Amino acid sequence: MSEPERKDVGFTIDGNEVAGEQGQTILQAAALANIYIPHLCAMRGLSPWGSCRVCTVLVNGRPQAACTMPISEGMVVENDTADLNDLRSSLVEMLFVEGNHYCMFCEKSGNCELQAVAYRLGILSPRHPYMFPVRQVDGSHPDVMLDYNRCILCARCIRASQELDGKHVFQFIKRGANKRVGLNSANGAGATNLVVDDKAAEACPVGCIIKKRVGFAVPVGQRLYDKKPIGSEIESGRAATSMR
Amino acid sequence: MADNSSVVRQICGKLGNDKNRLMDILLSVQAQSGCIASEALDEIAQFLSMSRVEVESAATFYAFFSEERRGRFVIRLCNDVIDQFHGMDRIAAAFRAELGIEFGQTTPDGLFSLEYTPCIGMSDQAPALLINHKVVTRVSTDMVHEIVQTLRTTKDLGQIKFPLGDGNNSHPLVRAMVLNNLRQRGAVVFAPTTPAVALQRALSEQPVEIIKIVKASRLRGRGGAGFPTGMKWEFTRAAEGARKFIVCNADEGEPGTFKDRVILTEAADLVFEGMTIAGYAIGASEGIVYLRGEYAYLLPFLDDVLARRRAAGLLGRDILGKTGFRFDIRIQLGAGAYVCGEETALLSSCEGKAGDPKTRPPFPAQKGYLGMPTVINNVETYCAAARIIENGPGWFTSMGTQGSAGTKVFSVSGDCGQPGIYELPFGITVSELLARVGATDTVAVQVGGAAGRMVGPAEFGRKFCYDDLATGGSVMVFGPQRDVLGVAHSFMEFFVDESCGYCTPCRVGTRLLLERLRRFLAGTADGVDIDYLEKTGKTMKTASRCGLGQTAANPVLSTIQSFRQEYERRLKPNGAVFLSSFDPRKAVVTAEGIAGRASMHFGTQKSEVQS
């Protein structure tokens, strides 16, 4: 028998009363209460990271990342406001212009969280100028391809490899604009101990880590976010049971 | 390779193959091999039982490490805005001509590498540069010639002999041409003191009493953020942890700040005494000074001060006969990363990792170095704490203002007669300071470095204190010949280089601001570009993860606020309104009528046509 729930931390999100458990983050507690807070670097089962900043909310008037901020009794959280959604749009647009995201040619289109969050926020085109960086593609692994053009530096692969696979396939190297996901080998992904069944290969929210030979198995139009916007699984409560 | 491998093995072994000492290992490998090669990453990973990519993560983060082999003498010319205004370009041209290489290159004989580096803490004696650990200030083109000739013929850095600086700069363990330029000694940091008096007094009190005294003094952090020191100590004392740590932030990287350099040169005992007192107050037995790599020339001297304190019973076991009180200090050298001045990035670096800030909460007082409760204070804060214990909180609060007790050590540089160090009570106005430093015709003052703000003459009546113009100490003075947008541009370039890249708004936003600012400098900006800068800057301020990103838009935001006319006068002709002949809202009215809904471009409100 599972432990009884101790939802003893009461707070509000956009005026709605939410009860959560001590130790939960705002993002976790909100999801369990069927409230969607847009996010990209946060992923169920991985430790909080707080790098994309898309989940920025106001906590008692101060900006905080909902994915790393623990809940506390009586806190007042603002989430779905015009200002915050504009801020989030600006951040998502930054991620678009920073890389090379050609949705129409991308195998991940329709399953891509970056694309889905952009649609959900109503982004039509980025307000920022494209940077068109020159980035590498690593095809050295027999079963997995890495297309760094699409990497948004969310660190989900890094954390999944360490926390779920018990490996160290990925880690950030360099800094600033040059920061990128490095590999635990001098000779590309093929020389690492990454295998296609690793959780790390599943963790990518965009089309950077792609499995070979299974492309377009599900046709465009029938994909995860083709019918319903991202976050609707949380709002409908379908995600709540599995989030626990 | 076998040879190289034994070098790495030796270096790792000397530090107990401890992965928390990775910074020191990488510094040694870089110094001995001129690079941290791919093979070295594998070897270090093997000896430290960590993955190669973790080693690579740290080895590729810091500016002083390189994958490519660097020259035996790495010349790093400071390209801070003050140095730019004091002849940096002439020095750069002289080096190019003497060495026949560009910046970023190494001479074919492997003797010289030429690089730019951000502020090295010598703005009062610009232009300045580093050759490996050696500092050369007030550089002239003649000196460039002499340096290159001497190193070419003797291949010995010790043969470069310029007159030594004042005070401890000419100490046998320092021997630097650096000047203190200590223009104003105040009552707290630079007043004459006797070592051990404060510590003796501290040890006669209960630790909780020490915290009470520091709280009563209303001492706030001198690094710039101004958190109440007594409260920080109290939190850390109350936090649970098997070990606790005292960390001194001597990663003085804020452009235009050099006061910690002078404090460490002339008042190192006071700094260590303050740390020891803090250790006693919170129940810590280990202290770390994180010294920026640019100040490595002070390391032998500081290590010697520590050794003398150990010999005198001021560090180690049973300090001053106090049974059971044990405290010691080690110095952790940085390797060229401004972000490590951010306290949690500093901790990451101390732990041997890339200098990415940590997630907060938990704060260092709860989970700091190695996950243990940690006090991190600025160099100057520890000095003030020691003096408060010595003289009492009333003495301290009698100086300064209500919200900002005590004195502040200012580093003044730029267009003024007497740049240097001024220790003055909080509450002094900008114009009072300008008069003291011999600045006339000042058009702008940058307060608090690149992360601070720029103020114009209309604001020169404002006071230096936490409630008005807060600063970690940097005051840069600009005369009428300087372009404030040029200054902002230099600072934005700095932030682009120094962002750690962890979070989106800082990593991308800094580049976006720089790109848009360049449009103004090129005369191609539109009126809407001012709004774009403000809005994107605000996004960075709101959403960034650490203090660096939250302040990285300040060069732009504060110049728009105080010098808006400088932006407006550079707009391209007829650019004040974006295509003023075309009103996009008007243009969609018909289409909105047909569609029966508002255009998505303008939000949910249906467009209203102004008649």
Query: What is the domain-level CATH number for residue B435?
Result: 3.10.20.600
Indicate if B247 and B389 belong to the same structural domain. Answer: yes
Hey, what are B278's tokens?
């803090």
Alpha helices in chain A, H assignment, sequence order: 26-32, 82-98, 113-120, 156-159, 224-227, 232-235, 240-243
What CATH number is associated with residue B389?
3.40.50.11540
Q: A76 and A159: one domain?
A: no
- Residue B333 in any domain: the answer is yes
Q: Do A179 and B535 touch (CB under 8 A)?
A: no
Terminal alpha carbon distance of chain A? 15
Q: Do B268 and B380 fall into the same domain?
A: yes
| pLDDT tens-place string over residues A70-111 | 999 999 999 999 999 999 999 999 999 999 999 998 999 999
Which residues does A183 contact at the CB level (< 8 Å), separation at least 6?
A138, A169, A170, A189, A191, A192, B53
Of B459, B478, B497, the residue at which a domain comes to its end is: B478
Q: Which one of B524, B532, B542, B601 makes the best mutation probe of the A interface by having the most chain A beta carbons within 10 Å?
A: B542
CATH number at residue A62: 3.10.20.740
One-letter amino acid for residue B461 of the chain: G
CATH number of the domain encompassing residue A182 = 3.30.70.20
B576 part of a folded domain: no
In a domain, B574, yes or no: no
Q: With an 8 Å Cβ cutoff, is B605 touching chain A? A: no
Q: Are residues B253 and B277 in the same domain?
A: yes
pLDDT for position A240: 56
Question: B48 contacts in A (CB within 8 Å)?
Answer: none
Residue with tokens 């809005």: B535
Q: Is B469 left (phi over 0), alpha (psi -120 to 50) or beta?
A: beta
CATH number of the structural domain spanning residue B142 = 3.40.30.10
Identify the pLDDT of residue A54. 98
Q: Give yes or no: residues B491 and B471 share one domain.
A: no
Please check whether residues A184 and A106 belong to one and the same domain.
yes
Query: What is the count of structural domains for chain B?
Result: 6
Q: What is the pLDDT of residue A242?
A: 47
- Chain B, residues 438-497, CB within 8 A of chain A, namely 496-497
**Which chain B residue lies closest to A94 (C-alpha atoms)?**
B508
Q: Is residue A166 located within the same domain as residue A99? A: yes
Q: Does B52 touch chain A (CB under 8 A)?
A: yes
Q: Answer yes or no: is A119 within a domain.
A: yes
Q: Is B408 exposed, middle or buried (0-12, 13-18, 19+ CB in 10 A)?
A: buried
Considering the domain boundaries, does residue B442 fall inside one? Answer: yes
Which residues face B331 on adjacent strands? Answer: B289
d(CA B29, CA B26): 5
- Coil, helix or strand for B48? coil
- Over 60: is that where the pLDDT of A1 sits? no
A134 and A202 housed in the same domain: yes
**Are B99 and B133 found together in one domain?**
yes
Its domain, for residue B465, covers 407-478
Q: Does A70 touch chain B (CB under 8 A)?
A: yes
Nearest by CB to residue B53, choosing from A68, A122, A184, is A184
> H-helix or E-strand containing B422?
strand B420-425
Collect all residues with Cβ–Cβ distance below 8 Å to A105 and sequence separation of at least 6.
none
Q: Which of A60, A80, A100 is the last residue of a domain?
A: A80
Distance of CA B267 to the CA centre of its chain: 20
Judgement on whether residues A44 and A161 belong to the same structural domain of the protein: no
Token look-up 């940085």 returns: B334
Cβ-Cβ contacts under 8 Å, A128 against chain B: 508, 512, 536
Verify that B511 and B548 share a domain, yes or no. Answer: yes
Q: Verify that A143 and A186 share a domain, yes or no.
A: yes
Structure tokens at A86: 């504009």
Distance between CA atoms of residues B23 and B341, nearest Å: 16
Residues B306 and B440 in one domain: no
HEC-encoded secondary structure of B488-542: HHHHHHHHHHHCCCCCHHHHHHHHHHHHHHHHHHHCCECCHHHHHHHHHHHHHHH
Name which of B54, B498, B507 is nearest A179 (Cβ-Cβ). Answer: B507
Instruction: Write out the two tokens for B556.
Output: 């732009």
My answer on whether B314 and B205 are in the same domain is: yes
Q: Look at B501 and A153 and tell me if their CB atoms are within 8 Å.
A: yes
Is residue A239, in this structure, part of any structural domain at all? no
A208 and A92 share a domain? Answer: yes
Domain check: are B441 and B587 in the same one?
Answer: no
Cβ pair B539:A87 closer than 8 A: yes
Provide the pLDDT for residue B598: 85
As a whole number of angstroms, the distance between CA B126 and CA B105 comes to 23
A95 shares a domain with A202 = yes
Contact B86, B476 (CB under 8 A): no
In a domain, A233, yes or no: no
pLDDT in tens, A113-162: 999 999 999 999 999 999 999 999 999 999 999 999 999 999 999 999 99
Considering B419, B451, B478, which residue would you say is the last residue of a domain?
B478
| A232 found inside a domain | no
Do B32 and B102 lie in a common domain? no
Do A36 and A121 share a structural domain?
no
Q: What is the DSSP letter of B70?
A: P
Say if A3 falls within a structural domain.
no
Q: Which of B182, B196, B206, B166 is nearest to B313 (CA)?
A: B196
Q: Based on the domain organization, do B510 and B596 belong to the same domain? A: no
Q: What are phi and psi of B140, to 5 degrees?
A: -115, 165
Q: How many interface pairs between A and B have CB atoms less than 8 angstroms apart?
A: 126
Residue closest to B475 by CA, chosen among B487, B461, B464? B464
Q: What local confidence, expressed as pLDDT, does residue B602 receive?
A: 72
Chain A neighbors of B537, CB-CB under 8 A = none
Report yes or no on A235 lying in a domain.
no
B216's enclosing H/E stretch is: helix B207-216
Under 8 Å between Cβ of B88 and B419: no
Q: Are B504 and A94 in contact (CB < 8 Å)?
A: yes
Q: How far apart are CA B532 and CA B380, in angstroms?
A: 39
Q: Are residues A157 and A205 in the same domain?
A: yes
Per CB-CB distance under 8 Å, the chain A contacts of B512 are: 94, 128-129
Q: Please give, rounded to a whole number of angstroms, the shortest distance from the CA of B145 to a CA of chain A.
A: 35
Tell whether B515 is within 8 A of chain A (Cβ). Answer: yes
In a domain, B170, yes or no: no
Q: Is A107 left (phi over 0), alpha (psi -120 to 50) or beta?
A: alpha
Last residue of a domain, one of A80, A115, A135: A80
Provide the pairing of β-strand B129-131 with B134-136: antiparallel
Which tokens go with A240?
A: 């709540």
Q: What is the ipTM of this complex?
A: 0.96
State how far the Cα of B289 lies from the Cα of B285, in Å rounded to an integer: 14
CB B114 within 8 A of CB B105: yes
Query: Which residues contact residue A229 at a Cβ distance below 8 angstroms, ignoring those fewer than 6 apart?
Result: A116, A119, A120
pLDDT at B573: 80
Class of residue B518 by CB neighbours under 10 A (exposed 0-12, middle 13-18, buried 19+):
middle
pLDDT over 70 (residue A216): yes
Examine residue B285 and state whether it is found in any structural domain, yes or no.
yes
CA gap A91, B513 in Å, rounded: 14
Q: Is B102 on the interface with A (CB under 8 A)?
A: no
Q: A94 with A184, same domain?
A: yes
Alpha-carbon dihedral B53, B58, B60, B62, rounded to 10 degrees = 180
To 10 degrees, what angle do helices B528-543 and B504-522 make? 160
Which residues is B4 bridged to in the sheet? none
pTM of the model: 0.94
Q: How many domains does chain A have?
A: 2
Put the strands of the sheet holding A16-20 in their side by side order. A16-20, A9-13, A76-78, A56-59, A62-65
Low pLDDT (below 50) residues in chain B = 1-2, 607, 609-611
Alpha-carbon dihedral sign for residues B489, B493, B495, B501 = positive
Structure tokens at B273: 């005494």
Residue A91 covered by a domain: yes
Domain limits for position A45 = 9-80
> B87 and B10 in one domain?
no
- Asked whether residue B209 is assigned to any structural domain, the reply reads yes
A90 vs A82: CA distance, rounded Å:
12
What does the longest C-alpha to C-alpha distance in chain B come to?
Answer: 90
End position of a domain, from candidates B478, B498, B513: B478
For residues A56 and A23, membership in a common domain is answered with: yes
**Residue to substitute from B499, B503, B604, B605, interface A, most A β-carbons within 10 A:** B503
Read off the pLDDT of residues A28-81 as tens digits, 9 standing for 90 and up: 999 999 999 999 999 999 999 999 999 999 999 999 999 999 999 999 999 999
Task: Tell me if A176 sits within 8 A of B498, measured CB to CB.
Answer: yes
B572: DSSP letter: P
Cβ-Cβ contacts under 8 Å, B356 against chain A: 172
| Beta carbons of A69 and B504 less than 8 Å apart | no
Helix, strand, coil fractions of chain B, as percent rounded to 5 = 45, 15, 40
Which amino acid type is present at position A38?
P
pLDDT attached to residue B604: 57
- In a domain, residue A158? The reply is yes
Query: Is A94 in CB contact (< 8 Å) with chain B?
Result: yes
The predicted pLDDT at position B420 comes to 98
